Structure 1
């Protein structure tokens, strides 16, 4: 089978890209050994933002996205996202994926940072699963889509720095190359580098590292969003239970140990933007989420599946005071791309959370992530098929797969996860970041593992951004600096540099 593209990852952005490419050409999807359900998409709860209300329009959605992005959103990307939303969601609305009103239109919820109710959600609350199954069933039946199980371990490049495909290590047997005119990294984010995370344990930025080693630029790695409401438990990395923002949209309160609502002084109260709610919770001695005052029937009707997950942890969603803390959740930083997913390496694309289109700025608006995967996945697929490149030739400079590291990834993460929680968490300081850099340097000297080096890139970007903006908050520099309205870019050969944003 001659393939036009190989897509690494099978979350919402990877599946959407594959389906779009398969309209015109053959495509391979590289699925991790753990299976396609291990993506962040499959865990996503809340819903998808779309301006469908009688008094809501895409420009309102645009304005909310830009406002929450704290001056770093790329206007063209936001315009594409918000205007494309109604059309791209129509097939899913017609397929009955989302909860509907008796009038025949989707039920619209309200979430943090939004000026209008515009969140569509699946019945039961597990929207990511519903969309993933919808896309996967289409992809599974498509004869133009080839499924490959394995872990991408290195991009194949030539003397000109062009990407020709990817090396894949299968569950058993030796690594093999997948050649393609276009290679798409849909590998998700890197929030599982932190020990306390809402992400699956596999979201550790390996796609970012592959791109970086191949010469692609990375941007804004310091911007990691911490979800305010994660059920507070001592569980292994990757097993935390997120309590969706939609619960607060329904009316849930955030309480301190004395049962006082500590968000009352904010104009938007519990529905303030995520970065502000996360910092408020982080600074409490303990915090709780409560739905006791909300009709239990309404809670169970809208969040029945989430209620079952909460019950499995020993709590009752509608009546218990649920202990919550913050957790690393979403990465605004990523592989730098244009609005068609093209990276700075010819033949290499990135999409979804792996990509940095600039659509989220310094802080993502709630329920824009699944939408991004759909909109830009379709655009990447369109660009690949409508701007074909010549078939790759065997002129690669790395036809031998890389050797396996002495230290396993999980061992490296055990050494590093709590370090990031403590020193690169919700609130940072020059001192904490400096300590992180020193410890990471020691770890690299002891064992030169790629995870330590990638974490070093994140820490360096956080150190250089000597301001507070969006998800990056420094207690020693709590104000936003107009001189730092731009992006910190990192390249394997050229190091770190700052690029001012001039078109916002």
Structure 2
């Protein structure tokens, strides 16, 4: 049997693993515990046409409109046409979608959707319900031996090998290096599927969990896989000020509205759709309103939403823990980094530019989201394109003989510990940049609004050489974050690796953002505010 490695256990990784289990030797690697992912944190629902009053054509049109002219039309068509069947499969797997008083699946409305087509589970715990169902199924597969699970195992890098003779020059994915129990190990495979999620921890303000450090994306870039749309990072308009806790767009879909610091509603004057305009429009409006009110947050008013706490129990509970009553208080909100539209460039079957490497979910970029993701299309993307990727893995491995090597090996018996890393900063030689400094830098120059001067400043600060891994047997210099006289802790090593990954991704985002001399979707250049497509004059690098 061929060996397939799947890195990540959100909706995309779990769905891929379950489809391949039993047909191949499948190993699933997760950085933390099984199921820890952005999916678990997803309050919003999953979009799909499952009502007679809605049409797939309308869902396609809404997705293309939100993408500001840059969505891949074929990817969008597949997402919207195959989505309903994938949602039905989730229900069959045990996801209990919410029902209305008549017993039908309740459908909610979110920004930039023409019809109510958002399904929720547990009110505002859709992602958690999906992960519970999928992890239960995966544990069953582990129990019967069709899947091997490695938890608390961090991806370090991809392993590549020369392509077989007769197939042309080049390299292919042959496995991964991981860090497990402080030991660097190498896992070999006939196919590698990256489902490692986003990189929200790049930003000082984010709705993402701590593990969202772009490990898969950074590894793919280092291995030479193509990336695309890196300038498009979506900022959710309504995170609780000071905490990053997400207040779902569904709350605005239920009737909540935004106020400025003076208690005045402002979205209707910005966009005819008001609070239900696309996320980039609402986030930009809040960002600009905060700028003219000396940084004070705006407010979400949900006091007139019927049974708001019952419909959004998790949000109401967390707000109460932080001193706010959703039914009676104005909730202070600010934009925060939420979802990466860019990523590893793939076709609609998950194939990347590196043979043997597939990518699904947020780490991948099929082009389906274009310049701005339509609300609740992310869970749908994960389940639709993971199904297609599983079929592609099957098809590719049918024509490729399984390799005769061990699926695991230590990298070096003499020096198994991974060691440390450092970041190169052009301003002062080989010096480390702290995570906090990097996040502040990214928020200032890669945030809701950017300009050329700030982008060039960020690239100069990070240095042209960028972050590099240093293996255990590499020389240790006085400028390293971990010196020869200080034994690094496991947590310290992981943080350094994560920070290096984030810095590499920041460089790529900045290069792409510098090249796109226009404002479009989630990419706003204050020095090029027009929505145009002029010739790119500064080359982006992946």
Q: Answer yes or no: same fold by TM over 0.5.
A: yes
Superposition deviation, residue 335 in structure 1: 0.3
Distance 2:200 2:501 in 1: 16
Are 1:146 and 2:148 counterparts? yes
- The structure with higher relative contact order (CA 8 Å, sep 6+) is 1
* Secondary structure of the corresponding residue to residue 167 of structure 1: strand
**Unaligned ranges ≥5, structure 2:** 163-169, 424-431, 468-478, 482-499
Distance 1:90 1:358 in 2: 25
Distance 1:56 1:402 in 2: 56
* TM-score, with length taken from structure 2: 0.84
Matches within 5 A, 1:181-260: 181-233=190-242, 235=243, 240-260=244-264
Aligned length: 478
Match of 1:365 in 2: 374
Superposition deviation, residue 444 in structure 1: 4.7
Match of 2:268 in 1: 264
**Unaligned ranges ≥5, structure 1:** 492-504
Distance 1:202 1:96, change over 3 A: closer
1:305 to 308, 314, 322: 314
Q: Which has the larger radius of gyration?
A: 2
1:431 to 453, 462, 470: 453
Distance 1:318 1:161 in 2: 58
For the 8 Å contact 1:219–1:488, the answer to whether it is kept is no
Distance 1:393 1:96, change over 3 A: closer
Distance 2:375 2:235 in 1: 12
2:279 to 274, 277, 288: 274
Cα shift readout 1:408-449 (whole Å, capped 9, x = no counterpart): 9x9742220011111111011112212222222299597694
Match of 1:70 in 2: 68
Distance 1:293 1:306, change over 3 A: same
Match of 2:129 in 1: 130
State the Cα RMSD in Å.
Answer: 2.4
Are 1:339 and 2:343 counterparts? no
Superposition deviation, residue 156 in structure 1: 1.3
Distance 1:312 1:443, change over 3 A: farther
For the 8 Å contact 1:467–1:473, the answer to whether it is kept is yes
Distance 1:488 1:61, change over 3 A: farther
* Secondary structure of the corresponding residue to residue 184 of structure 1: strand
For the 8 Å contact 2:122–2:129, the answer to whether it is kept is no
Match of 2:115 in 1: 116
Match of 2:401 in 1: 390
Match of 1:454 in 2: 505
* Secondary structure of the corresponding residue to residue 76 of structure 2: helix
2:383 to 374, 377, 393: 374
Cα shift readout 1:328-370 (whole Å, capped 9, x = no counterpart): 1100110001111000011000000000101100100000000
Distance 1:320 1:261 in 2: 16
